[in-house]
Amino acid sequence: MKYLAAVSLTALVLSACSTADQPARSSMTATATQCNSFDATVIGASNATRQWVAATDALPAYCEVSGTLAPASGSTIGVVIRLPAAWNGKVLGIGGGGWAGNVTIQAASDGLSKGYATMQTDGGNAGTDVWANGWVSERPESAIDFSHRAIHEMTEAGKAVAAAFYGQPHTRAYYNGCSTGGRMGLMEAQRYPDDYDAIIAGAPVYTLQTQTSAVFRNQAFAADGRAGAFSAEDLTLVQTSVLAQCDADDGFTDGVVNNPAACNWQPSSLQCSGAKTASCLTVGQVTSLQSVYDGRRASDRSYAMLPMRRGGEAGWSFFVGTSGSGEDSSRGGGLGGVYPLANPGVAWNMLGMTEADYLRVRASPFAALYEAKNPDLSAFFERGGRLMMWHGESDPGPSPVATLDYVQAVMAQNPEAADQLRYYTLPGVGHCRGGPGADAVDYLAAMDSWDRTGTAPERLIGRNLQSGITRPHCAWPNVARFNGAGDANDPASWSCVARTT
């Protein structure tokens, strides 16, 4: 859950409307004088401040308004609104990551550069350690803020500030977030359907199954005295073997499996016939690897451990305790911090967590606050809202299997979703960014185009800024396939075709 800088954007809009249809605006620009004389208390905070920030080579000039909102006793929601000198008339909400919000200028830079008034929050907790979440069980109002209230309050405050500052209301409201930011976007569509015209939700950590999956994956690799543990070299061996079998299935060999769900590579193909060597896996390793590919269902048929996709194994260790220690850098996705809410008085034991513990976590009051799993988006869709969802196929944190499950549930329950929801899978891409796939995508521009034209993008163009790989990412249920000729880095050389599975 870490590529925390702003990776999520949500846009709800009436499909055929564009900014060209809006009445003329009295002022779309701002100056330092205007900023310095602006009554920042419009934000709704007694400690409100404002300051003018001069333009740089990377960013336009903007007025920054900040303060702490307190919609309930014990609630402390830090918000930062940035108002560009040349405004496009739209506001952009930005989500956080891990167990933190995000008020950084890095997260706002893309939106500001495009002329959006940006809205950010610390999520109700000023700390920036994305895995330190003991405050969730210590401060009930902060738990509510982080679960859903902070983004809503930020949005209302941001809209009011923009209207007062520019002298007219916004024309469109978009949201963008990945990971926790993706969950926040889905929560907006579910709980506050009037907040945004369009929402972009990437790799959403929308239930606590992301956290329980991290714990049970750690257990799988630590089982039987670490018999299933993997070194970095073992993981690379596995990925190389997977690619050898499945990379070319899309018509081109490039180090990426385009449709991992259709890849039938089996861990047993690498099982040692004798002693362990650098070119084979032990029985314990084969067993642990197969278990994380398959996932683990609880007695209620939900996934206690979500499946992992084939083809991105070399990047798993960032979120998974593949070394067999039972620990990982995310501390089990931060589950330990919320465990006391589900199991009062019970000591947290990552290696000892059971299915019964999992069921209690999912049935806890905190889960009811935090999880954004409701597929009923009728109120959002009925007012014209659009939802763009995406997920990297090699994500070792939240599983793309869970995101697809949610997309399909929304499709089944909401007839409008056929026109107003699009889902994109990004082959070879890790959590929000990273990996050998084409991970750099301008989601905001794609959503803005969809909003203005009413035409949903049937493919997004991504690029890997390190390798230069450029690929189209097709809207579900299609997947990209190389046409057999031409430059593989030219999106025109690829077609969106039906998936085989």
- CA torsion sign, 263 to 264 to 267 to 269? negative
At 399 the three-state DSSP class reads coil
Cβ neighbours for 384, distance < 8 A, ≥ 6 positions apart: 12, 13, 14, 15, 17, 197, 420
Q: pLDDT at position 342, please?
A: 83
Q: pLDDT at position 87, please?
A: 97
Higher pLDDT among residues 268 and 1, named by residue = 268
| pLDDT tens digits for range 288-325 | 999 999 999 999 999 999 999 999 999 999 999 999 99
Q: pLDDT at position 439, please?
A: 98
**Token couple for 449:** 């185009």
At 430 the three-state DSSP class reads coil
* Separation of alpha carbons 75 and 10, rounded Å: 25
Other CB atoms within 10 A of residue 244 CB: 11
Query: How does residue 8 score in pLDDT terms, banded at 50, 70 and 90?
Result: very low
Q: How many alpha carbons lie under 13 Å from residue 412 in its C-beta half-sphere?
A: 8
| pLDDT tens digits for range 392-443 | 999 999 999 999 999 999 999 999 999 999 999 999 999 999 999 999 999 9
| pLDDT tens digits for range 239-298 | 999 999 999 999 999 999 999 999 999 999 999 999 999 999 999 999 999 999 999 999
Cβ neighbours for 345, distance < 8 A, ≥ 6 positions apart: none
Query: How does residue 27 score in pLDDT terms, banded at 50, 70 and 90?
Result: low
**Token couple for 436:** 């050998």
Cβ neighbours for 251, distance < 8 A, ≥ 6 positions apart: 481, 482, 483, 484
pLDDT at 328 over 60: yes
Q: What is the CA radius of gyration of the chain?
A: 23
| pLDDT tens digits for range 340-361 | 888 888 888 889 999 999 999 9
Q: Does domain 9-208+370-465+472-478 have CATH number 3.40.50.1820?
A: yes
pLDDT at 21 over 60: no
> Is 350 within 8 Å of 336 (Cβ atoms)?
yes
Domain boundaries, the chain: 9-208+370-465+472-478, 210-330+344-364
> Is 437 within 8 Å of 429 (Cβ atoms)?
yes
Residues in the chain: 501
Other CB atoms within 10 A of residue 261 CB: 18
Higher pLDDT among residues 480 and 329, named by residue = 480
| pLDDT tens digits for range 238-249 | 999 999 999 999
Q: pLDDT at position 223, please?
A: 93
Q: pLDDT at position 346, please?
A: 84
**Token couple for 27:** 């002022």
> Is 339 within 8 Å of 331 (Cβ atoms)?
no
> Is 234 within 8 Å of 302 (Cβ atoms)?
no
**Percent of all residues in the chain with a pLDDT value above 70, rounded to a whole number:** 95
Q: pLDDT at position 96, please?
A: 97
Q: What is the pTM of this model?
A: 0.93
Other CB atoms within 10 A of residue 71 CB: 16
* Separation of alpha carbons 294 and 380, rounded Å: 34
**Token couple for 218:** 């750690």
Interior angle at CA 143, CA 141 and CA 147, nearest 5: 120
| pLDDT tens digits for range 171-194 | 999 999 999 999 999 999 999 999
**Token couple for 219:** 């257990």
Q: What is the mean pLDDT of the chain?
A: 93
Phi, psi of 11, deg, nearest 5: -130, 120
* Separation of alpha carbons 53 and 491, rounded Å: 39
Q: pLDDT at position 343, please?
A: 83
SS3 content of the chain, % helix, strand, coil (to 5): 40, 20, 45
> Is 140 within 8 Å of 72 (Cβ atoms)?
no
Q: Is the preceding peptide bond at 477 cis, omega within 30 degrees of 0? A: yes
Q: How many alpha carbons lie under 13 Å from residue 299 in its C-beta half-sphere?
A: 7
Query: Which single residue is written with the structure tokens 């990379």?
Result: 247
**Token couple for 192:** 């506050």
